[in-house]
Structure 1
Amino acid sequence: MTQRHPRPGEGPYTVRTPRVVAARRLQRRRERDAAGLFLAEGPQAVREAVAAAVVQEIFGTRDGLTRFADLMGSARGGGARISEVTEEALAALAETVQPQGLVAVCAQQPVPLEKALAHGPRLAAVLAEIRDPGNAGTVLRTADAAGAGAVVFAGDAVDPYNGKCVRASAGSLFHVDVVRSPDPAAAVSVLKGHGLTVLAATGYGDTDLDALADSGRLATPTAWLFGSEAHGLPGDLLELADARVRVPIYGGAESLNLAAAAAVCLYASARALEAVP
């Protein structure tokens, strides 16, 4: 494998090498937003990023670059720079306890809501004020698996390019249109204007999900609203929704967590939509 190494005598990049220092800054949201870049960690995320043609540079240990030589060849073919780093430098770039040898610097590709809707998605998810990156990334992954075409991070939601969110999405960040919308209510209005039924998932909903599915009302283009696990959806968004939907609880559990409830709702819609000729 032909790979990009530092100049002769320089050795692998270290934690003090300017390129590594610059990449480490991307662990902070302010720096990510300013640069329009983010970090993707581990071979799975890097592979998806390479396939999406968003990788600018890959930092890898000698072992990591060797083990994933084919992936490095694909990345190089797409114009990415390949840089060997020390184990210490890789650990500084990674945010996991046991990094897997690769970290990529990737270009952010947020999509305006109007452009995402121009693609005609039949299913979308809106993450309103959800601040937990693990939950947000998991919902993003679930939305992708359910066939959603767009995921909207609305209001004061977590940064979709946060390292934990990227890891929790397991590559789905690169599969769907990721939208940032500072005004959740405005996003709902746009979704409605494009003909999507807007459903708010809430434990206090007056509409039962099973009854909604049995009525056939899920067999139309739909956007699901999900709120934070701690506070739920704001009242104004609940009022704007076409229906406020609760997931039925048949056992003794008080409620479902956000990711589980989102999976139930999104898959109910996916099943209904798939049945439409």
Structure 2
Amino acid sequence: MIEPGRPPAEAMTNPRADRVRDVAKLVGRSGRLKRRQFLAEGPQAVTEALRAHHDCLAAGGTPVIEALYATVECLKRFPQLLESSSVPGSRISLRIASELVLAAMTDTVSPQGVVAVCNFVDVPLAEVMASKPALIAMLCRVQDPGNAGTALRAADAAGADAVIFSQSSVDIYNPKAVRSTAGSLFHLPVVLGAQVSEVVAAAKSAGLGILAADGYGQLNLDLLQDESAARSFDQEIPDSQYDLAAPTLWMFGNEAQGLAGEEKALADHRVAVPVYGSAESLNLGTAATVCLYASARAQRRSV
């Protein structure tokens, strides 16, 4: 077993070594797609990847982590990384590496001391719908890695059951996107490259209502939340058009263009988040957080 503070003779110190170059190929999309692997960087993301790894193995699933590269200093500071990766039967290749090696493996200017080579973790749409989800976020043509990661993290925090990325969305395995999720990528099911119409049809068949986040929507999110609160006191809500406590799939659109007309047409309702100040609109991450938490709170209140 590797002990922090005592690097083995085979510690990796050459940033031009073949193994280092092989790992660095995962920074590019073509390298990721060819091997169906990606990089998770930093103690937070790797800790969450390790937890998911052990959960998958316990359930008889595919390992999440294939290899782990860390500095001695990082393992000293975060001993749980060594402990978790060294569990008997973990099937993780752990190697000590220098900071220069980690820098050569990744696209970050200042490496965080540990890098994990992970297998893709996305799942089929059918698997998500078969799990009887109550809350799903669907991101339609989201382009920015940081926005995609932030929205996924918001969905995780709100207790959503899955996040679905439509066709033409950013690659969630992009290193920047992975970093932006802060480990949430390993917490909930993620579907990639989905066709919006197929997702909506499957969601409706699974009993979910479809809400489109739209600044010009005919429904007001504040009003829906007020109605939800009133229901918790057994008050009747005349002319209510949607119950936020119902199983729901929220649709969020492209950062610059929002949802396309054909995407809005697939929704049961278009819902606007009211803006009380002078800002033109909310950014994707903020809008997703507000909408998902509105549904999450209503659903928990109704239990």
TM-score of the pair, normalised by structure 2: 0.86
- TM-fit CA distance, 1:154: 0.8
Match of 1:165 among 167, 177, 187: 177
**Aligned match of 2:36:** 36
Contact 1:55–1:75, Cα closer than 8 Å, also in 2: no
Match of 1:133 among 138, 145, 148: 145
SS in 1 for 2:249: strand
With 54-63 and 162-171 compared, the bigger mean Cα shift is at 54-63
Query: After superposition, what is the alpha-carbon deviation per residue over 1:25-74, rounded to whole angstroms, capped at 9, x for unaligned?
Result: 00111211111111000000000000010111111123223333331121
With 127-136 and 74-83 compared, the bigger mean Cα shift is at 74-83
Q: Which amino acid aligns with 2:244?
A: L
Contact 2:138–2:252, Cα closer than 8 Å, also in 1: yes
**Aligned match of 1:264:** 290
- Describe the shift of the 1:237–1:24 C-alpha distance in structure 2 as closer, same or farther (beyond 3 A): same
Contact 1:3–1:83, Cα closer than 8 Å, also in 2: no
Task: Give the distance between the partners of 1:204 and 1:92, measured in 2 at CA.
Answer: 47
Contact 2:143–2:255, Cα closer than 8 Å, also in 1: no
Contact 1:13–1:20, Cα closer than 8 Å, also in 2: no
Task: Give the distance between the partners of 2:257 and 2:147, measured in 1 at CA.
Answer: 14
Q: Which amino acid aligns with 2:96?
A: E
Alignment of 1:36-115 (within 5 A): 36-53=36-53, 54-77=64-87, 78-115=90-127
Task: Give the distance between the partners of 1:181 and 1:209, measured in 2 at CA.
Answer: 28
Contact 1:55–1:105, Cα closer than 8 Å, also in 2: yes
What 5-or-longer segments of structure 1 have no aligned partner?
Answer: none
Task: Give the distance between the partners of 2:157 and 2:11, measured in 1 at CA.
Answer: 42
With 41-50 and 200-209 compared, the bigger mean Cα shift is at 200-209
Q: RMSD of the TM alignment (CA)? A: 1.8
Query: Deviation above 6 Å: which 4+ runs of structure 1?
Result: 4-7
- TM-fit CA distance, 1:11: 4.7
Aligned residue-pair number: 276
Q: Which amino acid aligns with 2:78?
A: F
- TM-fit CA distance, 1:14: 2.1
Task: Give the distance between the partners of 1:135 and 1:90, measured in 2 at CA.
Answer: 26
Task: Give the distance between the partners of 2:222 and 2:41, measured in 1 at CA.
Answer: 39
**Aligned match of 1:247:** 273
**Aligned match of 2:22:** 22
Query: After superposition, what is the alpha-carbon deviation per residue over 1:118-159, rounded to whole angstroms, capped at 9, x for unaligned?
Result: 112210000110010100100100001101010001111111
SS in 1 for 2:137: strand
- TM-fit CA distance, 1:6: 9.6
Task: Give the distance between the partners of 2:29 and 2:258, measured in 1 at CA.
Answer: 24
**Aligned match of 1:117:** 129
With 210-219 and 52-61 compared, the bigger mean Cα shift is at 210-219
- TM-fit CA distance, 1:86: 2.2
Contact 2:158–2:293, Cα closer than 8 Å, also in 1: yes
Task: Give the distance between the partners of 2:119 and 2:72, measured in 1 at CA.
Answer: 24
SS in 1 for 2:39: strand
**Aligned match of 2:253:** 227
What 5-or-longer segments of structure 2 have no aligned partner?
Answer: 54-63, 229-242
SS in 1 for 2:86: helix
Match of 1:196 among 208, 220, 225: 208
- Describe the shift of the 1:186–1:261 C-alpha distance in structure 2 as closer, same or farther (beyond 3 A): same
Task: Give the distance between the partners of 1:261 and 1:19, measured in 2 at CA.
Answer: 42
- TM-fit CA distance, 1:183: 1.2
TM-score of the pair, normalised by structure 1: 0.94
- TM-fit CA distance, 1:7: 8.1
Q: Which amino acid aligns with 2:79?
A: A
Q: Which amino acid aligns with 2:154?
A: T
Contact 2:99–2:111, Cα closer than 8 Å, also in 1: no
